[in-house]
Chains A and B, each alone.
Chain A
Amino acid sequence: MARSAKTALVLCLDVGFSMSNSAPGQEPPFQQAKKVIQKFVQRQVFAENKDELGLVLFGSDNTKNNLAKDDQYQNISVHRQLMIPNFELLEEIQNDVHPGSQQADWLDALVVCMDLLQNETLGKKYERLNIVMLTDLNTPSSPDQLDIIIGNLKRAGITLQFFLPFPVDGGGSNPPHGGKALSREQQQGLEMTKQVMMSLDEEDGLEEVYTFSDAIEKLSVFKRVEKRPMAWPCTLTIGSSLAIKIVGYKAVCEERPRKSWSVVDAQTHQKDDIKRDVVYCLNDDEETEVQKDDTIQGYRYGSDIVPFSKVDQDQMKYKTDGKSFAVLGFTKQSMINRHQFVGTQVLKVFAPKDDEHAGVALSGLIRALDDLKMVAVVRYVYARNGNPQLGAAFPCIKEKYECLVYIQLPFMEDLRQYSFPSLENNKKYTPSEDQLSAVDSLIDSMMLVEEDKDGVKKDLFKVNHIPNPQYQRLFQCLHHRAVNPSAPLPPMDPWLTTALQRPLAVATRCQAPLEILKKKFPLKEVVKKKELKTSKELFGNSTEEPDAKKAKVDEEEDFNLADITEGSITQVGSVDPARDFRTLIRQKSLPFGEVCQQLTGRIEQLLGNKNMNYYIKCIPCIQTFREQSVQVGNADHYNSYIQSLKTSIPVRGLQEFWDMLVQDALTLINKDEVEGSTFSSHDAKQFLTAGEKKEEVVAAVVDDTGDVDDLLDMM
């Protein structure tokens, strides 16, 4: 279904020097206007419709248009003929459209645009011709031709929109809020704008004049592409003798993006470089591959696997005899539970446009149902090969129209009848009066629908006015990536984040009641919470939400594993050198000296990585080394290692690590601890002072790494 109806639109941007003027701290009108254009073009690009777009700049330094002759129509440049907009245009606007140093008459520019539109749409079919004028009206223009221009616009059926830096009704002599007062040219221009717009459309003409800031706001929302509603003509039947012709339309349905991602090769970015291949293999050890032709179709029936060929299936399957909207009967609306609605769409059912009689008949049904508070239970079949549905047709009477609203109801197989422990009759769950009133005041403070002074109800948070954030974000990222292919994705648009949050007014209002609520309902599951949180931190990278239980099990398993393997440790491994060291010392299967050597070997290996995480892993090793040495009563290995370590510190650039040792007071083993030591306790302390100067800084570092330390300990 190609849509022939397309729009031709010319953007007419004032780049004259006055557009660069702005009050201090304010964005110049030119920049604002450029943003409007960018957002607009962006939107058109992603909409991928057939609408064509041209760009005319006026006040430009150069002149390029068909009408330019002598000194007529100077400084007006047709930057782009009518074309379907693309990213090149976006880039041109970004890089090549700059404020000029000239001024040009906006009426002249308008004439150039009209000429452009008329020449280029000649012989083609367009639904709408439109000119969008973005200017500050700050050039003198001659009003004598205004009537002719208006006449031409009307004759050619061209519509006009104005985007100005100031509001149209804030004009006159009053300066717009805080800004500069309008110049005489601007006042005159504004009058002329009004005149043009009013003569094109007497009533709503001025509604087509926007301010830049308004436009930017509105255009920030990526508008979805309007889908033509597909009509579904059918006949509503009640028994064999009553029929009403109807047409159904999808009214509510989860909108999916029109395009999906396709997979390409990471290097070449070519789709054709990748092929997806499905192979079938037997469930044996060799995974023997079999040909697709050697497979047949089957279904599971509980424990049985039943071969069931496509042909047989088609023969035996349930068949419908085509479209249907047949009433099975009527029931009270209250018998239908809203939470049991199934399906993914809502249909609105009308009588055909040109069929008055069907209209009257359907209206009779709708009104009867509405009066009686009943619904029709209906068998719905979309088409011959469609599956039958059971659904409810609700009456819906609006000011402008009447219709049936059809929503699918569940089959018996769709229902899960769970029963939940009762909350009502449970003594554990009896709220006190205090608690009830705390909840009440919370509800009061968080009401999203409120009445204003005139008794008009206002909804502060209409979900059905929020554009689907998923697609807003998607298009924002797509656009960004298209224009900046190598840059990381942009942060979320602030307006989008705000749109999804509790309205500010409500958020402020509910603060106090929330505090009270917190006091009335003390949270007792704090312990459990915390546990959950740590495991979350631990497994934060996994895609699934970890639950506390799982984490616990993992930990336990880890522990068991450690126990089991402990018996078979023959050397100091790299996973947990300190533990291995301890075990080996205890086992006494190897001489003390050799075990120490293995440990120091591991420590050296770890230090070779020069990374804080590895340093952190070394500290317990050295701690254990010291501990065990004291226990065994042999300080030689430890002391000599630490001494040699110290001498190597400057050469190997391990000052950071040394500072950590100092912080943990891992001194030499002194005489008091082990008899054989050659150091007094003073000597041992003195030994470390080399690093004392830096101690303060170091302390901070160690504190920072505390968490990591814990973390590694746990793992």
Chain B
Amino acid sequence: MAQWNDYHHEDEDVDGEERDESGVDYKSTGRDSLVFLVDASKEMFIMGEDEEPSPFDMTMQCVRSVYTSKIISSDKDLVALVFYGTEQSKNPRNSFKHVYIYHDLDLPGARRVQDVDGLRGEKGAQVAGETMGSGNTNLGEALWCCSNLYSDIKLRLSHKRLMIFTCRDTPHGGDSERDRQARTKASDLKETGVVIDLMHLMKPGGFDVSLFFCDVVSPPEDEAELGLQMEPCGKLEDLQKRVRAKEMKKRSVARLNLCLGEGMNVAVGVYITALQARKPNAIKLYRDNNEPVRTKTRLYHTQTGSLLLPSDTKRVQVYAGRQIVMEKDEVDVIKKFSDPGLELIGFKPMERLKLHHHLRSAVFIYPEEEMVTGVSILTLLRRCSVRNVFALCKYTRIRNSPPRFLALVPQKEEVDDGQAQIAAPGFHGIFLPYADDIRTLDTPQLPTASESQVDKMKEIVHKLRFKYRSDAFENPVLQQHYRNLEALALDLMAPEHIEDLTMPNVNMIDQRLGSLAQEFRDLVYPADYNPEGKTAPKRKPAEAAGGTEKKPKVEMSEDELRGHVQKGNLGKLTVPVLKDACKQFGVKVTGTKKQELIDALTAQLTK
């Protein structure tokens, strides 16, 4: 998330509000870490029915997708991959038997993605069998080993999570000694702030969490959640969804008071749930060793050459020829209106929220968990939702940030069949535009379609219906960028091909429409109308008469031109004429300035 900071290369003074929106500073909060602890026993390699991939294969696909998504969206997070129940052991000093650290806790990189790729599919299973094999299980040792991973990290970790992937509900096959040992180690881990999740996979006869794992995993964030997600995952998609939901620590961009009225404050967190991910900025490397270089920006005085401190400068704007000077502090304080917070103005019926009143990604407002006042927010949420109203609030995110108005739209909780949360309970904060943000347009007066025309279009729309899902489209620009990097990092011959889902599937569309497109065209367009023509139809005849291409209007003979050159009055010709002349005599010009054209022509013709 921190990387988003870098994507905006806005001017210092164009208020970096959006920049702040997404800004979570890792320096102050530390980094997230995630350990995948994967069962490598024989059971994990059994293929499912109907060609379903084996649990191990599914897990590897999941790990891979987390690796790549971490690289793209939060590349400061640390990830580790550890197997337990292996034949071979690989860990520092090999003090833990049957535990195989595949990847240490570190940033995921291209090599690691490739490694995990190597463990996928049938071939992957073979590789896994050769390198690690399946052997005894001792989860306690595995957990101990993981806890060492965390403690070896010198960086400050803000969030520690451990995910256990297994399809065995009794890993030690009834060995109570080992069960006990695992429980103890798990509680040790939990004490040090590690959250342990169970990603249990389908097994014949069902996975019974209560047999063992209920004592190992962290208690859910609240009681209500206990009921959820106790079903094992049977499908890759489910597993991925579950992992994704857990994998990222929610971070609030602000913790504020929602002020309902004098003396009635409720603490809420402000979160961002959708924000455009952008290509990160390039970094500068030193040519000799490919190490990143640091940039230092300095201000200095042009006359004296002395370095200037920020306090040695002021800010100006010029209006009507007059320079208006302010201190930097004044520039900042001008933006201050009120203290940070959300201030309730009132309520409006939902239909007053206009679709086109959109300025930027919405925020999500959720009561601060540790505060008891969650109940008042919940009540508000419920009543707003029942009465179909939204709350209008004034939003000041930080000191010196000018106010914006938010429509707080109630969102009721929704869960899917697998009891996974699709929509979290809380308020969506929609940013509302000010008068300045709305532009007045001249709307053209044009005839409207007749009923039969509309009906024909309805048929077309009907043919091309699909179920939109917001997470179904990948950003081709980003994907291509990262594939390129991946290819360069791994010395691949060519980057992996990406499928551009934003491209319309023209063949499929044409096929589905059949004759409908032609029928609609016949209904709305006259026979001689070309909707793909470059210019407006009125001008068409003129253009047709003028020939296929714009010819140079004034063809100048070489002699004529030479005459001009000799007399030195090329300057009297117009720029288009000069350009045409350049083309005519094959003179290459780099610029479009008149003098450049003249110079180029003169040089050519005086040779």
Contacts and interface: CB of A to CB of B under 8 A. Distances in A.
Contact of A448 (B255, B345, B509, B513): B345
B197 to A, nearest CB: 12
Interface string A66-89: 000000000000000000111100
Contacts of B537: 355, 357
A252 B438 contact: yes
A264 B299 CA distance: 11
Interface stretch (A234-242, A573-581, A593-601, A637-645): A234-242
Given A274-B308, A299-B485, A302-B75, A360 B457 contact: no
B155 interface: no
Nearest to A489: B330
A581 to B, nearest CB: 37
A252 B109 contact: no
B567 interface: no
A97 interface: no
Nearest to A518: B264
Contact of B438 (A251, A264, A446): A251
Q: Which of A237, A273, A461, A467 has the most chain B CB within a 10 Å cutoff? A: A273
A350 B287 contact: no
A149 interface: no
A351 B446 contact: yes
Contacts of B506: 239-240
A174 interface: no
Interface in B525-561: 525-526, 529, 531-532, 536-538
Q: In terms of DSSP, what is the predominant structure of the interface of chain A?
A: mixed
A425 interface: yes
A259 interface: yes
Contacts of B348: 447-449, 459
B383 A443 contact: yes
Q: In terms of DSSP, what is the predominant structure of the interface of chain B?
A: mixed
A461 B352 CA distance: 11
A241 B299 contact: no
Size category, B interface: 35 or more
Interface in A286-302: 287, 290, 294-302
Nearest to A343: B276
B495 A316 contact: yes
Given A300-B283, A359-B446, A394-B355, A279 B531 contact: no
Interface string A410-451: 111111111111111111111100011001101100111100
A304 B260 contact: no
Contact of B334 (A272, A351, A473): A473
Nearest to A295: B284
A502 interface: yes
B298 A84 contact: no
Interface in A653-673: none
Contact of A255 (B316, B347, B437, B465): B437
A17 interface: no
Interface in A671-694: none
Interface in A542-574: 543-545, 547
B593 to A, nearest CB: 18
Contact of A420 (B250, B282, B303, B505): B250
Given A302-B75, A489-B330, A416 B403 contact: no
Contacts of A447: 346-348, 389
B443 A350 contact: yes
B454 interface: yes
B234 interface: no
B416 to A, nearest CB: 12
A477 interface: yes
B19 interface: no
Given A301-B110, A523-B373, A241 B510 contact: yes
Given A368-B454, A409-B470, A416-B248, A422 B222 contact: yes
Interface stretch (A7-15, A203-211, A321-329, A698-706): A321-329
A107 to B, nearest CB: 33
9 contacts: A273-B301, A301-B110, A302-B110, A338-B428, A412-B472, A416-B273, A463-B433, A464-B434, A477-B326
Which 4 A-B pairs give the minimum distances between C-beta atoms?
A359-B446, A239-B509, A303-B109, A303-B107
Given A339-B362, A359-B448, A469-B434, 12 more contacts: A245-B532, A252-B433, A263-B313, A266-B314, A295-B287, A313-B484, A340-B273, A346-B356, A416-B275, A439-B383, A514-B260, A545-B399
